[in-house]
Amino acid sequence: MAERYGKELADALPEADGVLGFDDYADISNRLQVILSGGSVEAHTPRDRRSLLPLSPVERQKAAEGVALPGHGTAGEADLASAAESAPADLPEGLAPASGPRAPLRRRLDTSPVASVKLASGCDRRCSFCAIPSFRGSFVSRRPSDVLNETRWLAEQGVKEIMLVSENNTSYGKDLGDIRLLESLLPELAGVDGIERVRVSYLQPAEMRPGLIDVLTSTDKVVPYFDLSFQHSAPDVLRRMRRFGDTDRFLELLRTIRDKAPTAGARSNFIVGFPGETEADFAELERFVTHARLDAIGVFGYSDEDGTEAATYEHKLPQDVVDERLAHLSRLAEELTAQRAEERMGETLEVLVESFDEDENDGEGGWIGRAAHQAPETDGQVVLTADSAEGLDLAPGRMVTAKVVGTEGVDLVVACLDEEAGR
């Protein structure tokens, strides 16, 4: 919001002491000191961040040194010494800044066994409904060494699963001269001591390649999880979205994945009611969703986004039609994902234990975790049966082997197979 709207946001929120954009990140401490001292900081002036870097990806890395890219920073020894000196005295054990050159300048705010690791910033795609590239900028990869160092640091803090995040992970490395860099990085991340799972989010179907599918489906500790951004499946709608593919190509991609990893997880998001979407287009989307056997589905009704090409399109659908299609596909998605969960009955899973969920009514509760096909917060969870977990030395971060014995919508109910707590 701050990056995109700047002064407009500041005018709408006079009670805010400052509105800071990405350009302020490099000097954020001084900006905050000015505010705390009673001074004022000029509100961020929005601009199209795609114009800050060269159009050619291979020319970006050097140019990016002069552009603020949140999440790309690493700390030298001086930074770390300063961070250690300013760290609160009561900072929980294990959360103090790391030491040594080029360790990530990052503090964890919780003790979850799961953490995200930024892989890149920005996006070079020009989907007609999306404004993200204008305020996130062009695609810039983090260096593999920085991603590895941060992962090692997180493992030292007790993290068991890392989730690689960016606007488009399938593009990783193209600005470093190697579009297949992700395929070589993933095994290295999986080999970090203490890491049990490496998960990759947000994959572009149009950029999926055989080598990447092979690594995602065959590398130990890299989960066969495919967060594929389909958005729609009717070819006419996809072209207006400035995207590629169709129902049959997408189904073939999923078949290719499942031929290599039959229990692979797959999820996606879809936009209904896009300008010009006909009843036949909507029916085509229904056909895809019905046959795709996705584990998790997000459905959104189209609405205009400031500054996007689609906002200028004609043939906008009446809001009641958008709402009706949204409700219809949402109901279908709920039914289909529940059916997909039922298909997993009898499967043996590796479950990452995350928390103990205490029942407020009776004071009892149970252990909650996630299987390989479930991403944090979005794809459902695993509930361990109380009798199978009894007597086990369970704790957040433990991995246990379990069998699916029931379902609750997209959630799975499992019985632990371990005689004692897992690794």
Instruction: Give the DSSP letter string of 98-128.
Output: P-STT------SS--SEEEEE-EE------T
Looking at residue 55, what is its pLDDT? 83
Domain ranges of the chain: 1-46, 114-343, 347-416
Quote the tokens at residue 306: 């400031």
Task: Specify the long-range contacts of residues 89-96, CB closer than 8 Å, at least 24 apart.
Answer: 94/157, 94/158, 95/157
Length of the chain: 423
Q: Does domain 114-343 have CATH number 3.90.1170.50?
A: no
Contact 265, 374 (CB under 8 A): yes
CB 373 within 8 A of CB 265: yes
Pairwise CA distance, residues 53 & 243, whole Å: 23
DSSP-assigned letter for residue 16: -
Query: What pLDDT score was predicted for residue 258?
Result: 97
Give the residue ranges of the chain where pLDDT is below 70.
Answer: 73-105, 359-364, 418-423
Give me the pLDDT at residue 104, please: 61
Whole-number pLDDT of residue 361: 55
Query: What are the structure tokens assigned to 92, written together?
Result: 């929980």
**Which CATH superfamily, name and number, covers 347-416?**
Nucleic acid-binding proteins (2.40.50.140)
Distance, in Å, from the CA atom of 158 to the CA atom of 149, rounded to the nearest integer, reads 15
Beta-sheet strands, E only, within 133-216: 140-141, 161-165, 197-200
pLDDT of residue 57: 86
pLDDT of residue 362: 54
Q: Report CA torsion sign: 320, 321, 322, 323.
A: positive
330-384 pLDDT, tens per residue?
999 999 999 999 999 999 999 999 998 876 555 567 899 999 999 998 899 999 9
What local confidence, expressed as pLDDT, does residue 28 receive?
A: 86
Q: Give the integer Cα–Cα distance in Å for 418 and 392.
A: 8
Residue 129, C-beta contacts closer than 8 angstroms, at least 6 positions apart: 241, 271, 274, 302, 305, 308, 309, 310
- Beta-sheet pairing, 365-370 with 265-272: unpaired
3 state SS of 183: helix
* Tokens representing residue 343 in the block: 């298909």
pLDDT for residue 89: 45
Sheet hosting strand 114-118, strand order edge to edge: 114-118, 161-165, 197-200
Q: What is the DSSP string of 353-420?
A: EEEEEE-TTTS-EEEEEE-TT--TTTS--EEE-HHHHTTS---TT-EEEEEEEEEETTEEEEEE--SS
- The reported pLDDT for the residue numbered 48 is 87
Residue entry with tokens 């971060």: 397
Helix extents (H) in 6-107: 7-12, 28-36, 60-63, 77-86
Cβ contacts of 148 within 8 Å, gap of 6 or more: 185, 188, 189, 192
